[in-house]
Amino acid sequence: MAAVSVFPSPAELGAALARSVADAAAEAVASGGRFTLGLSGGSLVALLARELPAALRAAPGAEPSRWLLAFCDERLVPPEHPDSTGGAYRSQLLSQLPRPSPHVLWVTPGLGPEETARDYEGQLRRAFPGEATPRFDLLLLGVGPDGHTCSLFPGHALLQEQNSLISFLEDSPKPPPQRVTMTLPLLNAAKALLVVATGASKAPVIKRILEPPEEQREESESLPAARLRPRSGRLWWLLDQEAAKELRIPLEKCP
Protein backbone atom coordinates (compact mmCIF):
# COMPACT_ATOMS: atom_id res chain seq x y z
CA MET A 1 0.00 0.00 0.00
CA ALA A 2 1.37 3.40 -0.87
CA ALA A 3 1.82 6.16 1.67
CA VAL A 4 -0.01 9.37 0.77
CA SER A 5 0.90 12.76 2.25
CA VAL A 6 -1.16 15.86 1.53
CA PHE A 7 0.16 19.40 1.89
CA PRO A 8 -1.74 22.70 1.91
CA SER A 9 0.15 24.02 -1.12
CA PRO A 10 3.04 23.29 -3.50
CA ALA A 11 5.29 25.44 -1.28
CA GLU A 12 4.87 23.19 1.76
CA LEU A 13 5.02 20.10 -0.43
CA GLY A 14 8.26 21.33 -2.02
CA ALA A 15 9.90 21.97 1.34
CA ALA A 16 8.93 18.50 2.59
CA LEU A 17 10.11 16.92 -0.66
CA ALA A 18 13.48 18.64 -0.40
CA ARG A 19 13.90 17.54 3.22
CA SER A 20 13.06 13.95 2.21
CA VAL A 21 15.65 14.00 -0.57
CA ALA A 22 18.29 15.44 1.77
CA ASP A 23 17.49 12.88 4.46
CA ALA A 24 17.56 9.99 1.97
CA ALA A 25 20.88 11.25 0.64
CA ALA A 26 22.45 11.53 4.09
CA GLU A 27 21.29 8.00 4.94
CA ALA A 28 22.56 6.50 1.66
CA VAL A 29 25.91 8.28 1.84
CA ALA A 30 26.39 7.19 5.45
CA SER A 31 25.45 3.57 4.78
CA GLY A 32 26.74 2.97 1.24
CA GLY A 33 29.02 5.83 0.33
CA ARG A 34 26.83 7.26 -2.42
CA PHE A 35 23.27 8.36 -3.17
CA THR A 36 21.67 7.32 -6.45
CA LEU A 37 18.82 9.59 -7.50
CA GLY A 38 16.61 9.68 -10.61
CA LEU A 39 14.89 12.91 -11.64
CA SER A 40 11.81 13.50 -13.76
CA GLY A 41 11.03 16.68 -15.66
CA GLY A 42 8.03 18.98 -15.74
CA SER A 43 7.12 21.00 -12.65
CA LEU A 44 9.49 18.93 -10.49
CA VAL A 45 12.46 20.92 -11.82
CA ALA A 46 11.30 24.25 -10.40
CA LEU A 47 10.07 22.64 -7.18
CA LEU A 48 13.50 21.13 -6.48
CA ALA A 49 15.38 24.21 -7.67
CA ARG A 50 13.41 26.34 -5.24
CA GLU A 51 13.71 24.11 -2.18
CA LEU A 52 16.58 21.62 -2.44
CA PRO A 53 19.60 23.95 -2.08
CA ALA A 54 18.38 25.23 1.30
CA ALA A 55 17.49 21.71 2.47
CA LEU A 56 20.98 20.52 1.57
CA ARG A 57 22.59 23.37 3.46
CA ALA A 58 20.66 22.17 6.52
CA ALA A 59 21.75 18.54 5.99
CA PRO A 60 25.56 18.45 5.95
CA GLY A 61 25.62 14.65 5.65
CA ALA A 62 23.73 14.75 2.32
CA GLU A 63 26.96 15.50 0.39
CA PRO A 64 25.80 16.14 -3.23
CA SER A 65 29.36 15.39 -4.37
CA ARG A 66 28.64 11.75 -3.49
CA TRP A 67 25.49 11.60 -5.63
CA LEU A 68 24.88 9.76 -8.86
CA LEU A 69 22.15 11.63 -10.74
CA ALA A 70 20.20 10.15 -13.66
CA PHE A 71 17.06 11.18 -15.52
CA CYS A 72 13.90 9.09 -15.31
CA ASP A 73 13.12 10.33 -18.78
CA GLU A 74 14.45 12.88 -21.23
CA ARG A 75 13.19 14.64 -24.27
CA LEU A 76 15.37 14.14 -27.38
CA VAL A 77 16.17 17.78 -27.99
CA PRO A 78 19.53 19.60 -27.81
CA PRO A 79 20.72 20.23 -24.23
CA GLU A 80 20.27 23.98 -24.66
CA HIS A 81 16.67 23.55 -25.86
CA PRO A 82 14.05 24.87 -23.36
CA ASP A 83 12.36 21.43 -23.42
CA SER A 84 15.51 19.62 -22.27
CA THR A 85 15.02 18.17 -18.80
CA GLY A 86 18.76 17.81 -18.30
CA GLY A 87 19.30 21.35 -19.49
CA ALA A 88 16.64 22.62 -17.07
CA TYR A 89 18.25 20.82 -14.12
CA ARG A 90 21.70 22.01 -15.14
CA SER A 91 20.67 25.66 -15.22
CA GLN A 92 18.07 25.72 -12.44
CA LEU A 93 19.32 23.26 -9.82
CA LEU A 94 22.85 21.99 -10.40
CA SER A 95 24.14 25.54 -10.77
CA GLN A 96 22.99 26.15 -7.16
CA LEU A 97 24.67 23.11 -5.63
CA PRO A 98 28.08 23.29 -3.96
CA ARG A 99 31.18 22.02 -5.73
CA PRO A 100 32.26 19.29 -6.34
CA SER A 101 29.06 18.61 -8.26
CA PRO A 102 27.14 15.33 -8.32
CA HIS A 103 28.12 12.77 -10.95
CA VAL A 104 25.41 13.20 -13.59
CA LEU A 105 24.56 10.62 -16.24
CA TRP A 106 23.71 12.94 -19.12
CA VAL A 107 21.64 11.62 -21.98
CA THR A 108 23.97 11.68 -25.00
CA PRO A 109 22.71 14.25 -27.51
CA GLY A 110 22.69 13.87 -31.27
CA LEU A 111 21.97 10.13 -31.51
CA GLY A 112 18.76 8.59 -32.89
CA PRO A 113 16.05 7.57 -30.39
CA GLU A 114 16.94 3.85 -30.23
CA GLU A 115 20.67 4.53 -30.07
CA THR A 116 20.11 7.11 -27.34
CA ALA A 117 18.21 4.55 -25.27
CA ARG A 118 20.90 1.91 -25.76
CA ASP A 119 23.62 4.41 -24.92
CA TYR A 120 21.84 5.56 -21.76
CA GLU A 121 21.16 2.03 -20.65
CA GLY A 122 24.86 1.30 -21.09
CA GLN A 123 25.74 4.29 -18.92
CA LEU A 124 23.36 3.03 -16.22
CA ARG A 125 24.70 -0.51 -16.29
CA ARG A 126 28.27 0.78 -15.97
CA ALA A 127 27.23 2.98 -13.04
CA PHE A 128 25.66 0.00 -11.21
CA PRO A 129 28.25 -2.76 -11.79
CA GLY A 130 27.04 -6.25 -10.93
CA GLU A 131 23.37 -5.23 -10.65
CA ALA A 132 21.24 -6.95 -13.29
CA THR A 133 18.63 -4.29 -12.61
CA PRO A 134 20.04 -1.14 -11.01
CA ARG A 135 18.37 -0.29 -7.70
CA PHE A 136 18.22 3.50 -7.31
CA ASP A 137 18.00 4.80 -3.78
CA LEU A 138 15.28 7.22 -4.86
CA LEU A 139 13.38 8.04 -8.04
CA LEU A 140 11.37 11.26 -8.16
CA LEU A 141 8.39 11.01 -10.47
CA GLY A 142 5.54 13.14 -11.66
CA VAL A 143 2.17 12.11 -13.04
CA GLY A 144 0.24 13.58 -15.94
CA PRO A 145 -3.53 14.17 -16.05
CA ASP A 146 -3.72 11.05 -18.26
CA GLY A 147 -1.89 8.95 -15.68
CA HIS A 148 1.47 8.88 -17.46
CA THR A 149 4.68 8.89 -15.47
CA CYS A 150 8.17 9.40 -16.84
CA SER A 151 7.46 8.99 -20.55
CA LEU A 152 5.28 5.91 -20.08
CA PHE A 153 1.88 6.76 -21.50
CA PRO A 154 -1.47 4.95 -21.24
CA GLY A 155 -1.90 2.15 -23.77
CA HIS A 156 1.67 2.47 -25.05
CA ALA A 157 3.60 -0.67 -25.95
CA LEU A 158 6.43 0.51 -23.68
CA LEU A 159 4.31 -0.51 -20.69
CA GLN A 160 4.90 -4.14 -21.66
CA GLU A 161 8.71 -3.76 -21.79
CA GLN A 162 10.22 -6.27 -19.37
CA ASN A 163 13.86 -6.47 -20.50
CA SER A 164 15.27 -3.06 -21.28
CA LEU A 165 16.02 -0.62 -18.50
CA ILE A 166 15.71 2.35 -20.84
CA SER A 167 13.48 2.49 -23.86
CA PHE A 168 12.44 5.11 -26.41
CA LEU A 169 9.32 6.45 -28.09
CA GLU A 170 8.75 8.75 -31.03
CA ASP A 171 5.04 9.36 -30.51
CA SER A 172 4.79 10.93 -27.09
CA PRO A 173 1.33 12.43 -26.60
CA LYS A 174 3.05 15.04 -24.44
CA PRO A 175 5.41 17.06 -26.65
CA PRO A 176 8.15 16.80 -27.62
CA PRO A 177 7.39 13.48 -29.32
CA GLN A 178 10.83 11.82 -29.15
CA ARG A 179 11.90 10.69 -25.69
CA VAL A 180 13.81 8.06 -23.77
CA THR A 181 12.40 6.73 -20.51
CA MET A 182 13.05 4.38 -17.66
CA THR A 183 10.86 1.28 -18.01
CA LEU A 184 8.66 -0.27 -15.32
CA PRO A 185 11.19 -2.99 -14.40
CA LEU A 186 13.79 -0.31 -13.63
CA LEU A 187 11.34 1.96 -11.83
CA ASN A 188 9.96 -0.86 -9.69
CA ALA A 189 13.45 -2.03 -8.71
CA ALA A 190 14.07 1.22 -6.82
CA LYS A 191 14.40 1.34 -3.06
CA ALA A 192 12.00 4.27 -3.01
CA LEU A 193 9.62 5.88 -5.50
CA LEU A 194 8.29 9.30 -4.66
CA VAL A 195 5.46 10.60 -6.87
CA VAL A 196 4.66 14.32 -6.76
CA ALA A 197 1.36 15.77 -8.00
CA THR A 198 0.02 19.27 -7.51
CA GLY A 199 -2.97 21.17 -8.86
CA ALA A 200 -6.63 20.48 -9.53
CA SER A 201 -5.91 19.07 -12.99
CA LYS A 202 -4.39 16.00 -11.33
CA ALA A 203 -7.30 15.36 -8.92
CA PRO A 204 -9.32 13.06 -11.23
CA VAL A 205 -6.39 10.85 -12.17
CA ILE A 206 -5.15 10.73 -8.56
CA LYS A 207 -8.61 9.49 -7.59
CA ARG A 208 -8.54 6.87 -10.38
CA ILE A 209 -5.11 5.66 -9.30
CA LEU A 210 -5.37 5.70 -5.53
CA GLU A 211 -9.08 5.15 -5.01
CA PRO A 212 -10.61 3.52 -8.10
CA PRO A 213 -14.30 2.63 -7.86
CA GLU A 214 -14.71 -1.17 -7.88
CA GLU A 215 -16.12 -1.21 -11.40
CA GLN A 216 -13.14 0.80 -12.70
CA ARG A 217 -10.39 -0.99 -10.82
CA GLU A 218 -9.14 -2.97 -13.83
CA GLU A 219 -9.14 0.07 -16.11
CA SER A 220 -7.27 2.10 -13.50
CA GLU A 221 -4.65 -0.63 -13.17
CA SER A 222 -3.73 0.12 -16.79
CA LEU A 223 -2.63 3.64 -15.97
CA PRO A 224 1.17 3.82 -16.00
CA ALA A 225 1.41 5.61 -12.64
CA ALA A 226 -0.83 2.88 -11.16
CA ARG A 227 1.81 0.36 -12.23
CA LEU A 228 4.41 1.84 -9.92
CA ARG A 229 4.83 -1.06 -7.45
CA PRO A 230 8.35 -1.22 -6.04
CA ARG A 231 9.26 -4.88 -5.66
CA SER A 232 10.89 -4.33 -2.30
CA GLY A 233 10.96 -0.59 -2.05
CA ARG A 234 8.73 2.16 -0.78
CA LEU A 235 6.06 4.06 -2.74
CA TRP A 236 5.09 7.49 -1.45
CA TRP A 237 2.69 10.00 -3.01
CA LEU A 238 3.14 13.68 -2.18
CA LEU A 239 0.08 15.70 -3.11
CA ASP A 240 -1.13 19.20 -2.51
CA GLN A 241 -4.72 19.70 -1.38
CA GLU A 242 -5.88 20.53 -4.89
CA ALA A 243 -4.55 17.29 -6.33
CA ALA A 244 -5.94 15.27 -3.40
CA LYS A 245 -9.36 16.88 -3.26
CA GLU A 246 -11.30 13.92 -4.73
CA LEU A 247 -9.79 11.37 -2.37
CA ARG A 248 -11.84 9.97 0.50
CA ILE A 249 -9.26 7.51 1.86
CA PRO A 250 -7.61 8.45 5.17
CA LEU A 251 -4.67 10.71 4.39
CA GLU A 252 -1.72 12.09 6.29
CA LYS A 253 -2.43 15.80 6.37
CA CYS A 254 0.87 17.67 6.64
CA PRO A 255 1.26 21.21 7.95
Contact status: 40 vs ligand 6PG (CB under 6 A): yes
Rounded-to-integer distance, Cα 86 and Cα 73, Å: 9
Smaller CB separation from ligand 6PG, 82 or 250: 82
CA-nearest of 79, 73, 107 to 177 is 73
Contact status: 14 vs ligand 6PG (CB under 6 A): no
Task: For 181-195, give the DSSP string.
Answer: EE-HHHHTTSSEEEE
| Per-residue mark of binding to ligand 6PG, 60-99 (x: CB under 6 A) | -------------x-----------x--------------
List phi, psi (to 5°) of 37: -130, 135
Rounded-to-integer distance, Cα 207 and Cα 222, Å: 14
Q: How far is the CB of 39 from ligand 6PG (least distance, A)?
A: 9
Rounded-to-integer distance, Cα 160 and Cα 167, Å: 11
Stretch that binds ligand 6PG, among 97-105, 136-144, 222-230, 236-244 (CB under 6 A): 136-144
Q: For residue 165, count other CB atoms closer than 10 A to its CB.
A: 21
Can you tell me which of 10, 14, 38, 41 binds ligand 6PG, judged by CB under 6 A? 41
Contact status: 183 vs ligand 6PG (CB under 6 A): no
Contact status: 150 vs ligand 6PG (CB under 6 A): yes
Smaller CB separation from ligand 6PG, 4 or 29: 4
